[in-house]
Structure 1
Amino acid sequence: MAVARDSLPAGTLLGPYRVVKTIAQGGFSLIYLAYDEDSGEEVVIKEYMPKKIARRDSAGRLIASEPQLAENLHQGRKLFFQEAKALASLKHPSIVRVLDFFLANDTGYLVMPNERGRNLGAYVQARRGGLSTTFILDVFIPVLDALSLLHRRSMVHLDVKPGNIHLRHGNRPMLLDLGAVHPLAKSRARGGQVVTAGYSPIEQYMRDGHIGPWTDVYAVGASIRACMEGRTPPPAPERQKEDTLIPATEELKTRYPFPLLRLVDWSMSMEIGDRPQDAGELLEAVLEQVARNPNPDTVSGTPPSESE
């Protein structure tokens, strides 16, 4: 991949971590593969680097791209570090572990283990959807359990999508991009956040939209539907203007169990009050359906043509 313009060069030392290469970039961060010189272990380092308001000087430090943006950069860096500390307290098998977090180069760094596996978004695209019910449940039950932990801690992820789910050996999922996680403080309880078309509900597009655990629930429903259809659902603003999305209970009724499709439609309700109010409520409903149906891959007695 092309190297980001302001990426740290290979060989840069960040504390005990030696940068190997840039492996990803986003609107607010750069992601590096590195190794711990003390242990020899590979790690992934996320650097706070908001591309619209910051640039790197000749010494490698982050500075505001314009003088009037200096306070924005300072506040964003402070929030990044505060949220990193909160994330470090989360212990769950489906949440990426935070190994370390520190300030350097006038910015913040989040260090995570480099776990081998594949990306669910890439897998869905390669398979063009049609993933089995068993596979979907194996992935999203642990994801919902992880989100339930976040929601109980009064935190929301705000960027759940197949591309942010990492599949380890045995298709064990791990929820990524926890740098997007936000505490539900009053100052962060409104919309205007970064959105991902197709997975972000309408309130996430609006400055006065009410953000909450139900926001992640919509994204989970959209992610499950993408696993089924192999394409991203239509963006929420398009649905608000004219909702042409055929309910999953109609569109996919010959391929997936009706109870699961009904939960997808419930989760993707446009109105906040019409959705499960948090991941725990949706998880409870999913587990209830699993308990009732010992053979989830059966649809009216006919198994799906695809197998994992």
Structure 2
Amino acid sequence: MDSRYVLVGLLGGGGMGKVYLARDEVLDRDVALKVLREQYAEDWELVERFEREAKASASLNHPHIVSVYDRGRTAEGSYYIAMEHVPGGTLKDLILKEGSMEAAEALRLTSQVADALGVAHASGIVHRDVKPHNVLLTAAGDAKVADFGIARAASKVSLSNSSRVLGTATYMSPEQAMGDPLGPESDLYSLGVVLYEMLTGKVPFEADSSVGVAMKHVSEPPRPPREKDPEVPEGLNAVVLKLLQKKPEDRYSDAAELVADLSRLEEGLAPVFAASRSASGAETTRALTQPLAPAPVHGNPGGAHRGFVRSPRRRRARLLAAVLVALLVLLGMLGVGLSQSSGGSMFGSVGKAVEEAEQALSVGEGEVPKVVGLTAEEARGRLAEQGFGVAVERSKSGAEDEGRVVGQSVPGGQEARRGSRIALTVGGGPRTVKVPNIVGMTPEKAQTKIDEAGLKLGGRKEAPSADVAAGEVSAQDPAAGKEAKLGTEVELTVSSGPPAASQPQRVEVDVPDVSGLSVDEATTILRAAGCEPAGTKTETSPEPEGTVIGTDPPMGTAVASGTPVILVVSGGPGVPPAGDPSGGPAAQPATASPDASDSPKFPSKPAPSAGPRADDPQPSSQKPTPSPPEPTSPEPTSPEPTSPEPTSPEPTSPGGATGAAPPSTTPSPPSVPASTAPP
């Protein structure tokens, strides 16, 4: 085809065209080639829209949108679009094969489709044909939205022919069934039908004809998904019913609001914007795991309609629309049919009439004021003055934006229907989270847990632990369960194993005052204080003998528990010098001779220590001099049984003097008497 694409096989077909698997010979890749049906090739208005939307689709670059590579016309006159080939089949195929799916999977796929629709809506493109047939699945199970280009061109076709052109009316929004102008809310309604089908395996409305299904979309409230399957979480049930509101302004105002609620549900939080109603009309919105507070709406605590109580005029307008719809249903049942006219379908004409009636009876559209930068209360008041409701969602922000509007769903200066609700994103300041418990984990596992909580891993140190195995976290700061701002660093202490027994923890104690006590009493007190008695030593002291007079280290000194302490004990006032084991009296000095006062001072010769001299002329004239005790002998020497022999005086020479000899200090045999010096 077109000298570039080789058709491999037919992948499927729709109301507007067929889809082929083709090989791009230029870029050597597989593509999906969508070819417009021949009967529409001569409809220049349709072809122009087809090409315009193909260009717009090619400009959409998003991981959940099927990429459009090329567009052209064959030699035979057929228009085609070459796009990304997604081999995983369609979401419809999966539902038909497996029926309902797990809520978490349905939520994940819905978020991906909503993201894709949000990108398209921001570019001014309304899909108009959101259904599971147009959601393709990759091999990894991710969603990709297709058919942005063709679906918009179908707006001029009548509903009576829609079973051939659009497939079915199963996924149509009420305004699409009525032929009204379509906006992003229409795509969101259709996505709500898709989500309903994913959760229950069934669509919300079924009838024998496309007209019957369309009328149910317009006038009949859907049965809540939880009534069909109680396993559907209540929070997700609320989102579905929010999407399936009859009036566009009662749904999510844009895909961003929907994605915000879905993200909150994934985190186990309450949806902000969803306001579900049971079949009886009672509000049933709840969170997945906790009661769901209604979206913050001021002016209407019941939350019935985006923050505003309907005026009687708006109720009359709705009544008028309901009467017209009932009339159309009756005409359909009578077989009148719906024929195409120059101005569009009969549904389109009636829809325009209803729209005009509502505009005449309601407040119409108005310019949305810019409120970014204002406080939440200021923004609420400014929007209320213009007739708009408010829904507030808190989001993480810097401290300077806390409490102020950082975004609004409808930009300032744009037109919106009065009575609709404007979603405001208000800065909630730095978000806080609970610090997870990581004690007992390895550092690697602890870091994963910290990252998942939105925190950061801080410093790390090691310390002994008797309770936690080596290599595992034994302590953390901040502690588990504490509130911390996102990005807060968590400090880790990692166990190095049990503490060594040879290195007990040091505990300081003071050496107690034990002065005046006995050794036994002092020993008891030392042990009680944490010191280790290490013996005694004796010192001369006027204190009673055996009394403690000091310690070593001194009393009052701070020491480690178990430090040895020596007791200093008084030995009394007469304790002998160290090394005198005998305990005898000290040696007395020798006395000088009575007549030696006028003699020169010469050292005297040693006196004999024992035995009388045979030639001693005066044995009794000299006072006896006792021998001193042995100073260094290891054993005491018994004294001589007889008193020491008197020593004879030295003969006096002329002009001389006789000196007394000092006592002998060394033990020896009886010494020989000193000789007399010559004159």
Gaps of 5+ in 2: 206-212, 271-286, 291-679
CA, structure 1 residues 39+135, in 2 after alignment: closer, same or farther (shift >3 Å)? same
Which among 252, 260, 274 is matched to residue 236 of structure 2? 260
What is the DSSP-based 3-state SS (H/G/I as helix, E as strand, rest coil) of the residue aligned with 2:202?
A: coil
1:173 paired residue number: 143
Letter in 1 for 2:203: T
Alignment pair present for 1:216 and 2:187? yes
Residue equivalent to 2:98? 127
Does residue 269 of the first structure (1) align with residue 245 of the second (2)? yes
Hey, what does 2:172 align to over in structure 1? 200
Q: Which letter does structure 2 place at the counterpart of 1:155?
A: I
User: Contact 2:200–2:225 at 8 Å: present in 1 too?
Assistant: no
Higher relative contact order (CA 8 A, sep 6+): 1
2:79 is the counterpart of 1:103: no
CA distance in 2, matches of 1:94, 1:171: 11
Q: Deviations over 1:167-200 (max 9, x none)?
A: 11221111122223549xxxx7999786532211
Residue 299 of structure 1, CA deviation = 6.6
Secondary structure, aligned partner of 2:72: strand
Contact 2:54 2:81 in 1 (8 A): yes
- What is the one-letter code of the residue matched to 2:17? S
Deviation at 1:257, TM superposition (A): 1.5
- Secondary structure in 1 aligned to 2:6? strand
Give CA deviations for 1:8-61 in whole Å, capped at 9, x if unaligned. Answer: xxxxx32311112332222211211111123432211111226xx44xxxxxxx
Aligned mates of 1:286, 1:300 — CA distance in 2: 14
Note the C-alpha offset of 1:126: 1.3
1:272 positional shift:
1.6
Which position in structure 1 is the counterpart of 2:83? 112
Cα drift, residue 281 of structure 1: 1.7
Equivalent residue for 2:223?
Answer: 246
Q: Is the 8 A contact 1:216 1:279 kept in 2?
A: no
Give per-residue Cα distances to partners, 1:281-305, cap 9 Å, x unaligned.
21122112223349xxx9769xxxx
TM-superposed CA distance for 1:236, in Å, is 3.8
Q: Does 1:90 align with 2:60?
A: yes
Q: Is the 8 A contact 1:191 1:203 kept in 2?
A: no
Offset from partner CA, 1:211-262 (integer Å, 9 cap, x none): 110001111111011011112221341243444x32235444x302211110
With 195-204 and 234-243 compared, the bigger mean Cα shift is at 234-243
Letter in 2 for 1:237: M
Give the CA RMSD over aligned residues: 2.8
What is the identity, as a one-letter code, of the residue corresponding to 2:215? Answer: P
State the identity as a percent. 28
One-letter identity of the residue aligned with 2:246: M
Q: How many residues align?
A: 261
- Answer yes or no: is the 8 Å Cα contact 1:96–1:112 preserved in 2: yes
1:191–1:205 CA contact under 8 A, matched in 2: no
CA distance in 1, matches of 2:15, 2:196: 26
Of the candidates 78, 83, 93, which is equivalent to residue 48 of structure 2? 78
- Map 1:138-153 to 2 at 5 A: 138-153=108-123
1:281 to 245, 257, 262: 257
Cα shift at 1:137: 2.0
| Cα pair distance change 1:251/1:155, threshold 3 Å | same
Instruction: Summarize the Cα distance change of 1:250–1:232 in structure 2 as closer, same or farther, 3 Å threshold.
Output: closer
The TM-score, its normalising length taken from structure 1, stands at 0.76
2:106 is aligned, of 133, 136, 139, to 136
Report the counterpart of residue 516 of structure 2 in structure 1.
none
SS at match of 1:156: coil
Pair 1:140–1:242, CA change in 2 (3 A): closer
Q: Find runs of 4+ consecutive structure 1 residues off by over 4 angstroms.
A: 188-195, 298-301
Q: Please name the residue that 1:22 is paired with.
A: 10
Higher helix proportion: 1
CA distance in structure 2 between the aligned counterparts of 1:100 and 1:127, rounded to whole angstroms: 35
Q: Tell me which residue corresponds to 1:291.
A: 267
Seen in structure 2, the aligned counterparts of structure 1 residues 189 and 144 have a Cα distance that, compared at 3 Å, is: farther
Alpha-carbon contact 1:155-1:181 (below 8 Å) kept? no
Q: Deviations over 1:81-123 (max 9, x none)?
A: 1111111111000000111112233332110122221321111
